[in-house]
Structure 1
Amino acid sequence: MTTMLKAQYAERGPIPQAVIAPVPFERPVLSQGQALVAVLAAPINPSDVLMLTGQYGLLPPLPAVGGSEGVGRVVELGPDTQGPAIGQTVLLPAGAGTWATHVVAPAARLIPLPNEADPQQLAMLTVNPPTASLLLSEFVALQPGDWVIQNSANSGVGSYVVQLAKLRGLKTVNIVRRESAVAGVQAQGGDVVLVDGDDLAERVKAATGGAEIRLGIDAVGGKATMRLAGALAESATIVNYGALGGEACTVSPRELVFRDVTLKGFWLARWFRTTPQATQYALLTELAGLIAAGKLRTPIQATYDVAQIQEAITAATADERQGKILITPAHG
């Protein structure tokens, strides 16, 4: 059988690829209730990198195996264990340490997925698509024809925001930080794509015909949050879900006090902790169906084996990346 590998780290540091390495391990002996799953694909997300550097809001105990989401195929069930059938494609539990050739997981927590669907697209189901869906549905009651504005529109979440908005009849203003990212967001279906800058509000008004925009989605923080606020209608809401710029969100008293703009935060991990499992499964099943039907997808730049984990993280943290980096373990 192919050597089993896991991408493990025993310390954290400022250079994420320097603290993690592929480590071989023996085929585990399963207990009742457990399943052995051969990992088919697992993405490298910004939050995964922040766990390696120690900057994420929730850090696993060390040593840890990287990877917070992914899909696999069931290869073995523990004794007297009911679960998805051998050979079934399944969604791995969030935070399962998915940068590995194989993962042991509770069989009851494995969600069956369509075997015929693209596993590389399904691998990104747990984090970015539900984040995008909830950002669009949980903060402002939007109707078909309404506009939404987001920054970091060329990110993984940004791509799904564009696609889900279109499926729901919404229009999107998409802000990126470099000219080279414009074409990719347009290809995803973004209605308006602009490069961020000090005159953003004026350019948004011109591009949308002065439309009232009641929802802003912010992944950058710093002054980028302020620029989004300036493009919003009175009493609108900004939802921040990240700080790619490395700075705290800035919103002026003018926006907060005189224009009644509200700033809120969203963390998917908290949603998973506080939401009934049936509601979680319903959302994930809905999104999996859209991915299987080809209605939701995100660009993939490159794939790497577990043995190439350091090269993969280097690629995932590059500035000019044009798609997701995935770990796709070799299984012989």
Structure 2
Amino acid sequence: MLKAQYNERGPVPQKSITAVEFEAPALANDEALVELIASPINPSDVLTLTGEYGILPPLPAIGGNEGVGKIVKLGGKGPAIGQTVLLPAGSGTWATHMVCKTAQLIPVPNEADPKQLAMMTINPPTALLMLEEFVDLKPGDWVIQNAANSGVGSYLIQLAKIKGLKTINVVRRESAVEGVKAQGADVVLVDGPKLAKQVAELTGDNQPKLGIDAVGGSSTDRVAASLAMGGTLVNYGLMSGEPCQVSASSFVFRDVTLKGFWLARWFRNAAPEKQKAVFGQIIQYVAEGKLQTKIHAEYPVSEIKQAVAAAAEGGREGKILVVA
């Protein structure tokens, strides 16, 4: 059995983490041994290894925050052996095996694609909640987002289409345009100083009421300038490494509102029934094949350094998965 452990953080994320052998302890009556099927490497995972994420686990720690596995042994009662389950969020999922409390394991359909299910705990609910929690959108409304070629961006395009919404998708390089179009995007634009004018020409009197920003810096301001009067801009990341910038004209003369979204905070505050409803909706979409994202490459836990290095590189399309 292997686990991807890190004892320090540093600017080169793959240097901090290594595969370590371990033996699973004896199971208590309320525990299960779960074998990893797949766990993605998200941008937040890389930032956690470099020490730049907003919340950092105490060291030493095991990498990984979501994924799916298969129950291989029970200490007592619980889901059936062989059942596919969601791994507990934030539990250190880059390991060939995990000992989990059975009460924390959420069974998912065995017939659904487990690798797509492995990526459903963080990015899909982030996209879904940003579409639902801030603006009362109606079918036919436009939504604009930057970082449209990201994991969240891909899910937002698909979820918007399910809801009858139209998306304007902003990327930072021309080479990303075709990949985003292939996800079902209505419009794909390359970010630049003419963005607001292009959006106005496309949408006319139906300018976007909701903007989604994951880049920060001057890109935030260009999305804000593309919104309708009284529009809402939601930021959930700073891929540029720069603070959000919004001009006074958007705030003062066009009454644009800037808000932040962090999924961990939503989980802390949302009632269990609401959380179950969100996950139930996403599981259904994944099982029906309506919600999926590209997989760039898969690496076993034994090659965690190579996996993290690949995830930290820019310019790829699709997720890096850690597998047993």
Same fold (TM over 0.5): yes
In structure 1, what is the Cα distance between the partners aligned to 2:303 and 2:276?
33
Q: Confirm or deny: 8 A CA contact 1:255 1:261 kept in the other structure.
A: yes
1:313 alignment partner, SS class: helix
Give the alignment partner of residue 9 of structure 2, picking from 5, 12, 21. Answer: 12
Task: State the superposition RMSD in angstroms.
Answer: 0.9
Mapped to 2, the partners of 1:35 and 1:23 lie a distance apart of 21
**1:60 corresponds to:** 57
What amino acid maps onto 2:65 in structure 1? Answer: S
Q: Residue 199 of structure 2 contacts residue 207 of structure 2 at CA under 8 Å; is this kept in 1?
A: no
For structure 1, the 5+ residue unaligned runs are: none
Partner residue of 1:125? 120
Which of residues 315, 318, 321 is equivalent to 1:320? 315
Deviation at 1:288, TM superposition (A): 0.9
Q: Deviation at 1:32?
A: 2.5
Query: In the alignment, which residue of structure 2 is the partner of 1:50?
Result: 47
SS at 2:313's partner residue? coil
Query: C-alpha offsets along residues 193-247 of structure 1, whole Å, 9 cap, x if unaligned?
Result: 0000011101112233453210000000111000001100110000000000101
- What SS does the corresponding residue of 2:244 show, helix, strand or coil? coil
1:106-150 CA distance string (max 9 Å, x none): 110111000011111010010000000000000000000000000
Equivalent residue letter for 1:86: I
Counterpart-to-counterpart distance in 1, 2:77 and 2:270: 25
CA distance in 2, matches of 1:248, 1:234: 23
**What is the TM-score of this pair, normalised by structure 2?**
0.98
Q: Residue 91 of structure 1: which of 69, 86, 91 is its match?
A: 86
- Deviation string for 1:19-51 (max 9, x for gaps)? 000000012211221111101000000001111
| Partner residue in 1 for 2:185 | 190
Which residue matches 1:138?
133
Structure 2: which amino acid aligns with 1:261? Answer: V
Deviation at 1:279, TM superposition (A): 1.5
What's the offset of the Cα at 1:320?
A: 1.2
**Is 1:164 the equivalent of 2:159?**
yes
Misfit runs of 4+, over 3 Å: none
CA distance in 2, matches of 1:292, 1:262: 36
Flag structure 2 segments of 5+ consecutive residues without an equivalent. none
Q: Report the TM-score when normalising by structure 1.
A: 0.96
Residue-pair matches, total: 324
Equivalent residue, structure 2, for 1:202? 197
- The Cα offsets for residues 71-117 of structure 1, whole Å up to 9 and x where unpaired, read as 00011122xx3321111000011101111101111110111000011
Which amino acid in the other structure matches residue 219 of structure 1?
A
Aligned to 1:269: 264
